């Protein structure tokens, strides 16, 4: 696959399908949808939107804004933090979370499409998304929101220019365009890294712990980082000591995983000093956390995300 040819061909396909109609495209700031946004950027009849779900990492909105500005990608930021948090109230089942998030995204897309007079939705679905969401012969493992959450009666017509690509091909084409390599981050965001109900307080804690972990990893590695490195908030309280007092705090799990395409993977073996520094900083900076564990499970039997 030649990147230049792929980009040309995708633009031609979009043009043929869209003609004079309008489309909206939601970009999460991840590798796949950023590539699609770069491909779609020249089209005046495609409105690119970036939804702040409130389930994003620290500074994510700013990171995406700088990236899009650098690559001349015009977009509209939609603040939907309260909508997502309200819709997730009381929900603990992971698949339920994904479905609610999928539906919330679709409601937002529908509203945006109506505002823009669009009949089409451009989506950055790639091959592993639909394979793992049960689109092929395999059982549904997780209903990834960008596939499993789409309601059957959705009025918008889908255009999925990347749907035959695998991760390595996305990376190659992105590199050709000069787009930075970004660590995969799931559509449902931090919600599937909080085991149990999602609340603002837990999101705050997880955002801080994730930021600390990312900063240490980014400072430690040049280029050969694990595929994904992140934290998970566990609703497990354990006893600890804080100064001279007994503490009773929550647990953060750290997960580093190496994989080629996200379909199978092995847990990374970072050095203990790195993990030790991350652990100390999280427990020093976040008083609600007094225990850190490291996930030593491959995929399979575990999945990469905990939910
Ligand atoms: P799992 O947890 O299924 O993760 O082993 C494989 C890859 O997919 C990401 N992931 C998701 N991405 N919506 C997404 O857009 C989702 O619901 C979702 N669940 C997992 C995960 O981060 C990993 O890169």
The reply to whether ligand 1 has any atom less than 6 angstroms from the CB of 88 is no
Which ligand 1 atom lies nearest to the CA of residue 146? 15
Degrees to nearest 5, angle at CA 189 with 187 and 193? 130
How far is ligand 1, taken at its centre, from the CA of residue 132, in Å?
Answer: 9
Which ligand 1 atom lies nearest to the CA of residue 98? 17
How far is ligand 1, taken at its centre, from the CA of residue 142, in Å?
Answer: 8
What's the pLDDT band for 263 if we cut at 50, 70, 90?
A: confident
The reply to whether ligand 1 has any atom less than 6 angstroms from the CB of 298 is no
Q: Which of 274, 277, 293 minimizes the C-alpha distance to 285?
A: 277
Residue 2 contacts by C-beta under 8 Å, 6 or more apart in sequence? none
75 vs 243: which has the higher pLDDT: 75
Which ligand 1 atom lies nearest to the CA of residue 305? 2
Structure tokens given for 128: 């592993």
Nearest CA to ligand 1 atom 7: 262
Mean pLDDT, to the nearest integer, of 247-261?
A: 95
Output the pTM of the full model. 0.91
Q: Is the pLDDT of residue 285 over 80?
A: yes
What's the pLDDT band for 289 if we cut at 50, 70, 90?
A: very high
The pLDDT, as a whole number, for residue 148 is: 46
Q: Is the pLDDT of residue 24 over 70?
A: yes
Q: What is the mean pLDDT of the chain?
A: 93
154 vs 161: which has the higher pLDDT: 161
How far is ligand 1, taken at its centre, from the CA of residue 20, in Å?
Answer: 34
The pLDDT, as a whole number, for residue 151 is: 62
d(CA 107, CA 29): 20
What's the pLDDT band for 261 if we cut at 50, 70, 90?
A: confident
Q: Is the pLDDT of residue 147 over 80?
A: no
Q: Report the SS3 class of residue 299.
A: strand
The pLDDT, as a whole number, for residue 168 is: 87
The pLDDT, as a whole number, for residue 42 is: 97
Mean pLDDT, to the nearest integer, of 198-216?
A: 98
The reply to whether ligand 1 has any atom less than 6 angstroms from the CB of 262 is yes
d(CA 260, CA 254): 20
The pLDDT, as a whole number, for residue 140 is: 57
Q: Is the pLDDT of residue 99 over 50?
A: yes
Share of the chain above pLDDT 70, in %: 93
How far is ligand 1, taken at its centre, from the CA of residue 188, in Å?
Answer: 9
The pLDDT, as a whole number, for residue 155 is: 82
């Amino acid at each position: 696959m030649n990147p230049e040819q792929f980009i040309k061909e995708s633009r031609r396909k979009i043009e043929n399908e869209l003609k004079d109609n309008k489309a909206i495209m939601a970009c999460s700031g991840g590798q796949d949808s950023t590539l699609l946004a770069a491909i779609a950027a020249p089209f005046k009849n495609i409105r690119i939107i970036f939804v702040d779900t409130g389930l994003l990492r620290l500074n994510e909105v700013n990171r995406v804004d700088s990236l899009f500005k650098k690559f001349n990608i015009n977009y509209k930021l939609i603040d939907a933090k309260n909508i997502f948090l309200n819709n997730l109230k009381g929900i603990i089942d992971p698949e339920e979370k994904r479905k609610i998030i999928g539906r919330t995204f679709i409601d937002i897309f529908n509203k945006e499409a109506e505002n823009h007079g669009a009949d089409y939705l451009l989506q950055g679905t790639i091959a592993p998304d639909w394979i793992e969401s049960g689109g092929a012969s395999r059982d549904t493992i997780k209903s990834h929101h960008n596939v499993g959450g789409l309601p059957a009666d959705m009025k918008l017509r889908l255009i999925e220019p990347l749907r035959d690509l695998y991760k390595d091909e996305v990376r190659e084409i992105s590199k050709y365009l000069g787009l930075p390599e970004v660590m995969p981050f799931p559509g449902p965001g931090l919600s599937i890294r909080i085991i149990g109900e999602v609340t603002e307080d837990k999101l705050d804690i997880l955002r801080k712990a994730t930021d600390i972990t990312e900063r240490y990893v980014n400072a430690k590695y040049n280029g050969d980082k694990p595929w994904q490195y992140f934290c998970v908030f566990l609703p497990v309280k354990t006893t600890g000591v804080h100064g001279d007092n007994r503490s009773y705090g929550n647990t953060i799990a750290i997960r580093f995983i190496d994989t080629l395409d996200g379909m199978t993977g092995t847990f990374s073996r970072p050095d203990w000093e790195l993990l030790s520094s991350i652990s100390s900083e999280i427990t020093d900076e976040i008083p609600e956390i007094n225990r850190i564990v490291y996930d030593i499970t491959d995929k399979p039997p575990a999945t990469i995300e905990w939910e």
